[in-house]
Amino acid sequence: MLAAFAVLFFRLWALQVLSGSQFLQAAENNQQRPQPIAAPRGPITDRFGRVLVTNAPGTAVQITPADLPKHGAYAELRRLTAILHVPLTDVTTQIAKAKHLGDTLTPVTVKDFVREPQIRYLYEHQSEFPGVTIANSFLRRYKFGDLAAQLLGYVGEISSTQLEQMHGYRLGDKIGQGGIEASYDKFLRGKAGLKQAFVDSLGRPTRPIEVKSLPVPGFAVRLTLDAKLQRAAQKAIVDGINRAQANQQWYANAGAIVALDPRDGAIRALASYPTYDPAVYAGRRKRDLAPLIDPKVAEAADFPALNRALAGVYPPGSTWKPVTALAAMEEHILDPNASLHCTGQLTIDKQVFKNWDPFANQWMTLPTAIAQSCDTYFYQVGKRFYDLPADRGQPLQKWAKSFGFGQPSGVDVGPEEPGLVPTIKWRQQTYTKKTDPYGWQIDRLWKSGDSVQLAIGQKDLQVTPLQMARFYALLANGGKLVTPHVVADIEQPGPDNGPISGPLVLRRFQPPTKELNLDPAAISVLRDGLFQATHSGSGTSSGVFGNFPIGVAGKTGTAEKIVTVHDSTVLTNTSWWCGFGPFAGPTLVVCAVIENGGFGGAVAAPAALQVFEQYFGKKASGIATKQAD
C-alpha cells in the first residue's frame, strides 16, 4: 500500500514540480490560437506607374482544424460547404493535409471571397459552426484582364513541396506561383501580422482577440513594361494569326512578341498567345483553371499558361542568318563585300539544298544576301564552317553561345528555356544505341548538312524569342550583350495601395551588359543589310516597313517545323521577324513569332510593325506584305 502511494507521489512530483512549467506552457498553448493577419500584397505597375495588379479586399471563411468538434465535424463541413458553394472534398483534403503535417492550429481557408449575406448568416449562426472563423483577405485584381498574364503570374496557397523547399513560409501562406508574383514574392508579400485568439475546447472564444503585431503591406514592383505597348503587342499576335489564317495558314494558332530597349535590356512588352485572364486563379473554379493546370485540357487549348516569349523554343530560320554572318566575319572566313552566287538550289556532298526562292540567280554581297534572305549564300557560309580544320573547333556554335543562345538569358522572371545550339558533342550524346537503335551510327555523326542547315537557322537549332531579341539588341547597340529584365525597381507603395504618388524607390535593378568587343565594321555591314531588307525594293519586309516614318531595320524568318496537329504530321512554317529602330539610334528591338504562320514577311513582319507604330506613335502609310522568307 505504501509502495502504491509512493509511486503516485513520485509521479506527481515529476509531473508538477520537475516539469510543471513545460506542461503549463502546453496548457497555455491549448487555448491560444495564433492567427495571421493577412498583409496586403504590393501592387505591380508598368513603367509609367499604371497599376496592373492590385488587391481587392475580401472576406474569407477559414477553419481551424483543431477546433472542429470531435463528433459531427463532417456534418458541419457539409453544411458550411453547401452555404459557400465549395466542393466538400476540397476542404476535407486540406484539413487532412493539415493534420498530416501536424499543424491543426493554422486556419485553413475554405473560401476567399465570400459574399455579404453568407458572412452575415455565419455570424448569426456562429454557435453552429465551431472552429469556423471569418478573416479579412486580399484577392489579386487584374485591372487589364489578360494583359501580360503569363508574365505577371498569379498568387496561390503554398503547396506542400514548396513548403519543404522554401524557408520562412507557413502552411496556408499565399505566395506567388509563377511570373513576377513568384520571382519578386519576397518584396510583394509584405509581412503578415499576428493576432491571438483564446478559445475553449469547443473553439468558442473565451477572451477578446489580442493583436500582437500589425501586418506590413508589401512593396510595389515597377516593371519596365509599357502597358500600352504590351496591349499592342498582344493585339499584334492576334492580328498576325488572323492574317495567317487569311493566307490559308490554317494551323496558325499561337505566337509571341518581345520588345525591349537595346540600350539596357529593359523589356517593354512580352506577349504570348493564347493567353488567359489571371482572375481565374483568384476564384476557386476548377473548370476555368483546367486549361492552365490540366495537361490534357491545356494541350487542346494550345497551352495558354506557357509564356512563349521566354519558354517557347523554335528554330529561328532566316532571322538566324545575321548570327551566322557575324560569326563568319569574326572568324575571317567571310568577306562581306565579296560576292557569292545566289542560286535556286545548291548541291553539297551529293545533297541538294533548296533556296526559298527557286528562281534566284544573282551574285550577292552580304548585305544583299541578308536583304533578300538568300539561303544558298548562307549554305556556302555553312559549308565554310564545316570545312574548317578540326583544330578551329566549332566557331559558329561558340559565337552563338557568346551571343546568348543555348542558355538562359538570365531574365528576372521565369520559367525560361535555354534552347539548343547543336554541336558535335551534342549529336554524339543524343543519338546512341539506346535512343536510336537503327540509325544511331549515322545519326551521331556531324555531317556537312548539319553545318549547312545550322547556317540558316534550321534543323536542330532551337531558340526563344527573347534570345533572338537579345541578339538583335546586340546588333542595335553595337556589340553589347544586354541582360533582359522586366522589373525596374521596388518602391514603397502609396496610400491605399493604389496609384503611387511620389514613390520612394527602395531598390533599382540594372542588370549588367556585357561588351563583346566585336568588329564594328562587321556589325555595321549587318545593320546595313537589315536596313536594306526593310527598305530596298527586293528586301523581304520592305513592303511592310518601307513606308514607316521611322527607320526600322530587321529580318524575316520562315522556319520549317514538323508539327503534329490532330494526329497527323504536317510541315508548317514558323513565321519570324526581328529588328530594331530608329536605325540611327535604336531604342526598341522587336521580335515577333507566329507559330505555323507561314512566311515571315507576310505575317510576323506586319505584327512587329504594329508594335513599332504604338511605340513611336506613328502609323505606316499602307503596307504590302510579301510571301518572302
Name the strand (E) or helix (H) holding 194: strand 193-199
Backbone angles phi, psi at 440, to 5 degrees: -65, -30
Q: Which residues of 498-509 are buried (b: 16+ CB within 10 A; e: fewer)?
A: eebeebeeeeeb
The residue among 30 and 213 lying less far from other proteins, judged by its C-beta, is 30
Q: Burial-class residue 516 by CB neighbours within 10 Å (0-12, 13-18, 19+).
A: middle
Query: At closest approach, how far in Å is the CB of 127 from other proteins?
Result: 15
Pick the closest to residue 597 from 245, 208, 180 (CA basis): 245
The span from the CA of 137 to the CA of 119, in Å, is 13
Beta strands in 214-360 (DSSP E): 220-223, 254-260, 267-273, 340-343, 345-348, 351-354
Q: Closer to other proteins by CB, 26 or 504: give it.
A: 26
Q: How far is the CB of 82 from other proteins (least distance, A)?
A: 25
Q: Give the phi and the psi of residue 602 in degrees, each rounded to 5.
A: -90, -30
Distant-in-sequence, close-in-space partners of 480: CB < 8 Å, separation ≥ 6? 473, 474, 513, 514, 515, 516
| Residue number, 32 or 538, with CB nearest to other proteins | 32
C-alpha cell at 81: 460547404
Least distance CB 203 / other proteins (angstroms): 10
Closest contact distance (angstroms) between CB of 303 and other proteins is 43
Gap between the Cα atoms of 21 and 25, Å rounded: 6
* Cβ pair 258, 469 in contact under 8 A: yes
Contact between 135 and 60 (Cβ < 8 Å): yes
Residue 202 or 338 having the CB closest to other proteins: 202
Q: Which is nearer to other proteins, 21 or 248 (CB)?
A: 21
- What is the CA angle 322-470-180, rounded to 5? 155
User: How far is 506 from 490, CA to CA, in rounded Å?
Assistant: 6
Q: Least distance (Å) from other proteins to the CB of residue 20?
A: 4
CB of 28 to other proteins, least distance (A): 7
Secondary structure (3-state) at 97: helix
Closest separation in Å from C-beta 404 to other proteins: 56
CB-CB neighbours of 480 under 10 Å: 19
Min. distance of Cβ 99 from other proteins in angstroms?
Answer: 8
Give, as one character, the DSSP assignment of residue 383: H
Q: What is the DSSP letter of 120?
A: H
- The gap from C-alpha 235 to its chain's centroid, in whole angstroms, comes to 18
Question: Shortest distance, CB of residue 151 to other proteins, whole angstroms?
Answer: 44
Nearer to other proteins, 166 or 202 (CB): 202
Cβ distance to other proteins smaller for residue 7 or 565: 7
Beta strand extents in 371-481 (DSSP E only): 480-481
Q: Which is nearer to other proteins, 93 or 136 (CB)?
A: 93
Which C-beta is closer to other proteins: that of 9 or that of 48? Answer: 9
- Smallest gap from Cβ 169 to other proteins, in A, equals 25
Select 33 or 321, whichever has its Cβ closest to other proteins. Answer: 33
**Per the structure block, which three cell numbers stand in for 19?**
516539469
CB of residue 26 to other proteins, shortest distance in Å: 5
Looking at the Cβ atoms of 22 and 93, the one nearer to other proteins is 22
* Minimum distance of other proteins from residue 198's CB (angstroms): 8
Return the sign of the alpha-carbon dihedral for residues 403, 468, 595, 572: negative
Q: How many angstroms separate the most distant Cα atoms in the chain?
A: 117
- Distance between CA atoms of 451 and 255, rounded to whole angstroms? 28
Closest alpha carbon to 264 in 47, 450, 564: 47
Task: Assess contact for 325 and 381: CB atoms under 8 A.
Answer: yes
Q: Is the CB of 171 or the CB of 311 nearer to other proteins? A: 171
Task: Please say which residue, 21 or 568, places its beta carbon nearer to other proteins.
Answer: 21
Nearest alpha-carbon partner for 35 in 58, 63, 69, 76:
63
Cell numbers given for 96: 487532412
Q: How far is the CB of 194 from other proteins (least distance, A)?
A: 20
Provide, rounded to whole angstroms, the least separation between the CB of residue 192 and other proteins. Answer: 26
Could you tell me the smallest distance in angstroms from the CB atom of residue 9 to other proteins? 7
Query: Cα(599)–Cα(465) distance, rounded to whole angstroms?
Result: 17
Residues in the chain: 629
User: Smaller CB distance to other proteins: residue 7 or 211?
Assistant: 7
Alpha carbons 299 and 242: distance in angstroms, whole number: 21
- For the chain, percent helix, then strand, then coil, each to nearest 5? 40, 25, 40
Report how far residue 406's alpha carbon sits from residue 457's, in angstroms, rounded to the nearest whole number: 13
Which of 35/575 has CB closer to other proteins?
35
Name the nearest CA neighbour of 447 among 376, 544, 375, 350.
350
Name the site residues for other proteins (rule: CB under 8 A).
1-2, 4-5, 7-9, 11-13, 15-17, 19-24, 26-28, 30-31, 70, 99, 104, 199-202, 206
